[in-house]
């Protein structure tokens, strides 16, 4: 298995875990379709937590991932139905989170956390603020 996608029970939160065997580009269409299948067509206001702690990524992989995500396919990190939150600490993950803030990648700011627990706390706090 290269990734898992789970919708948390009774919460508008998706947990997406990228495992070490994930291949950027090759596995991207599968994960995007899987994430899309977990979100209703007209649903909005979800949080998608991307756990990238196990992901192995080169600079070339990062460039490819940024390009793929900027296509704005339903189920991608940039899907407007869900707000993405990133979990990870590798230099490539940090660089990717910063790169998304550039105009060519959508001027997007994805919160970055070191642990899933911190990311879940953030998402739940944001959901509470909305009521």
- The number of distinct structural domains making up the chain is 1
CATH number of the CATH domain containing 83: 3.30.750.24
Q: Which two tokens stand for residue 19?
A: 């495992």
Residue ranges in 38-115 assigned as alpha helix (H): 59-69, 91-99
Q: What is the pLDDT of residue 62?
A: 87
Q: Report the distance separating Cα 127 and Cα 13, nearest Å.
A: 10
Domain that holds residue 46: 3-130
pTM confidence score: 0.92
In order along the chain (131 residues), what is the average pLDDT of each group of 10 residues?
95 97 92 95 96 92 79 86 95 90 85 97 95 73
């Amino acid at each position: 298995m290269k990734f898992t996608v789970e919708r948390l029970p009774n919460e508008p939160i998706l947990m997406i875990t990228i495992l070490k065997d994930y291949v950027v580009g090759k596995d991207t269409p599968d994960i995007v379709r899987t994430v899309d299948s977990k979100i209703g067509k007209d649903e909005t206001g979800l949080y998608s937590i991307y756990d990238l702690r196990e992901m192995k990524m080169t600079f070339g992989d990062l460039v490819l991932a940024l390009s793929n995500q900027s296509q704005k396919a339903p189920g991608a990190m940039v899907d407007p139905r869900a707000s993405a939150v990133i979990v990870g600490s590798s230099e490539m993950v940090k660089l990717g989170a910063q790169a998304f803030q550039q105009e060519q990648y959508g001027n997007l700011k994805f919160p970055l956390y070191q642990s899933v627990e911190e990311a879940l706390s953030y998402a739940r706090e944001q959901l509470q603020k909305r009521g």
